Structure 1
């Protein structure tokens, strides 16, 4: 079993209630939900990860103004976006001493998701905000471990992998 520690930073409040688009009930993605999802995803992606006793990452749920500021600062795109990923590792993982890798979790990086944009996209796609947030988190995780999509073929591979990751945690989505 892969050990994972997820730090959730919610700029709204802890355990932000996520109203679903398809029904009138409220869903809550707790810190435990996030941790379970990432644990299952990292177990699925284990062959692509550097060897470590465990992994750490943070996820920040924010709004359009904050993510626009980050997007402008780090990507020179002065507009909101749905998800940003700030990888702590290089594409070619650094050669860390084995003793260090065996003694402490490996920090993968930070994922920032705009709740505002996620809500709009969930409505456009006709699925719940919870599903959209999981979709975006999976996308961010893939970026943290070195995936990218500079062309249509690599984007299609990444979207297929995101779909597989959501199925692993019991969520269904089809991007086609």
Structure 2
């Protein structure tokens, strides 16, 4: 098993998508995972717009306004991983079978087949508002890639239980973010 990124784009059709983002985010996930000692699990990233993230912010945080990033961890900080048993999953992948593929495999966008592991632990979901990301990159005077990386790593650290409710927590979390970004060549 490995640390893996799943990707969803909920923006309107025709919204600009940078294919280089996938590689950047997978690299950041690998660096952050290594620095935090997380070697396996699944992180799901959803790209949305300001309205989409506003709805989530209102529903889950009671704040009726858009934000830049939200994180939804699958377990509480310090909680042991969930143990799953084989009988909790269907053993035949009907979609793969109908398409002539092997059970337990998923076809990636590039046509390559990736083994599906039903025992991979979902670490949680990260949701990023792409319009807010672009605006903040301009506001802070750095690249879109730097802002995307910052938001993604910030979200990932929240999935692992980090927070920034106090000055000490914020200092620790932001130092970790900057270390990951620097390792990826996205330092300020």
Q: TM-score range by the shorter chain?
A: 0.7 to 0.9
Cα distance, 1:109–1:95 mapped onto 2, change above 3 Å: closer
CA distance in 2, matches of 1:154, 1:31: 29
SS of structure 1 residue aligned to 2:8? strand
For residues 170 and 77 of structure 1, what CA distance do their matches in structure 2 show?
34
The count of residues paired between Structure 1 and Structure 2 equals: 156
Name the TM-score, length of structure 1 as normaliser: 0.79
Separation (CA, whole Å) in 2 of partners of 1:71 and 1:95: 26
Q: Give the counterpart of 1:145 among 160, 165, 179.
A: 160
Say if 1:58 and 1:109, in contact at 8 Å, map to a contact too: yes
Task: Could you list the structure 1 runs, at least 4 aligned residues long, displaced by more than 3 angstroms after superposition.
Answer: 12-18, 95-100
Mark the runs of 5 or more structure 1 residues left unpaired by the alignment: 19-27
Q: Secondary structure, in 3 states, of the residue corresponding to 1:149? A: coil
1:82 to 60, 68, 85: 68
CA distance in 1, matches of 2:14, 2:30: 21
Asked if the contact 1:10–1:62 (Cα under 8 Å) also holds between the matched residues in 2, the reply is yes
* Residue 48 of structure 2 corresponds to residue 33 of structure 1: no
Equivalent residue for 1:106?
Answer: 121
| TM-score, normalization by structure 2 | 0.74
Q: What CA RMSD, in Å, does the superposition of the two structures yield over aligned residues?
A: 2.5
Q: What corresponds to 1:23 in structure 2?
A: none
Secondary structure, aligned partner of 1:147:
coil
Residue 80 of structure 1 aligns to a residue whose secondary structure is coil
Segment of structure 1 superposing worse, 162-171 or 79-88: 162-171
Question: How far apart in 2 are the matches of 1:91 and 1:105?
Answer: 18
Deviation at 1:84, TM superposition (A): 0.1
- Distance in 2, matches of 1:96 and 1:80, equals 32
**1:30–1:124 distance in 2 versus 1, CA, 3 Å:** closer
C-alpha displacement of 1:95: 5.6
Summarize the Cα distance change of 1:157–1:14 in structure 2 as closer, same or farther, 3 Å threshold: farther
> 5 Å matches for 1:61-140?
61-94=47-80, 96=82, 104-140=119-155
